[in-house]
Amino acid sequence: MLQQSLPMMVDEITRFDQVKLQDKELIYTYTIINAASTDYDKQLFKDEAKKILVDGCGTTVDLGYLKFGGSYTFSYFGIDELLIADISISESDCF
């Protein structure tokens, strides 16, 4: 199970901390380990990260899960444990 292997580094600065299911929403929680939340323009971070996630539909997110009414939220926190952005991906983002 994925949760048992967490936390794990996904790149040099991003730690994957948690995955949980809440209703039909899969929530992935990440920490940017080299910067505080205040180091980011939060709207710019959200916009740029969403572009990357949507471009990855089919690899980053499971299209089958979306087709059955599921959704994803990717939550990013700074090393200060404060939220940088919540990015939601639904079926309409990928189709």
13-56 tens-digit pLDDT = 999 999 999 999 999 999 999 999 999 999 999 999 999 999 98
Q: What is the pLDDT of residue 4?
A: 82
Pairing type for strands 71-77 and 25-32 reads parallel
Decide if pLDDT at 1 tops 70: no
Q: pLDDT by residue (tens digit) across 48-92?
A: 999 999 998 988 888 889 999 999 999 999 999 999 999 999 999
Q: What is the pLDDT of residue 17?
A: 98
Distances (CA, A) of 79 to 17, 41, 82: 12, 15, 8
User: What distance in Å separates the CA atoms of residue 45 and residue 43, rounded to the nearest whole number?
Assistant: 5
Q: What is the pLDDT of residue 15?
A: 98
This prediction has a pTM of 0.92
What kind and span of H or E run contains 26? strand 25-32
